[in-house]
Amino acid sequence: MRGLVYLFEGAGLAAGVALFANTTGMLNEALRFYNERYNFLGTDSEGRYYQDGK
């Protein structure tokens, strides 16, 4: 993992972004992790988007 980015609004966490290493193995593990736990919203030129609440 390269890093984490958090966005806070008011007194609470509004969003978070995980920055992963650019390897095929890490990408596959990250995709599996997110697909098992979060609702996939879509992609754009910046990345993939998920929402909590499965």
43 is in which domain, residue-wise? 3-51
Confidence tier at 54 by pLDDT (50, 70, 90): low
Q: How many folded domains does the chain comprise? A: 1
Task: Determine the Cα–Cα distance for residues 54 and 13; give it in Å rounded to an integer.
Answer: 19
Q: What is the pLDDT of residues 4-38, one digit of tens each?
A: 999 999 999 999 988 878 899 988 998 899 999 99
Task: Determine the Cα–Cα distance for residues 54 and 52; give it in Å rounded to an integer.
Answer: 6
For residue 18, the model assigns a pLDDT of 83
For residue 37, the model assigns a pLDDT of 92
Confidence tier at 45 by pLDDT (50, 70, 90): very high
**Structure tokens, 12:** 């609470």
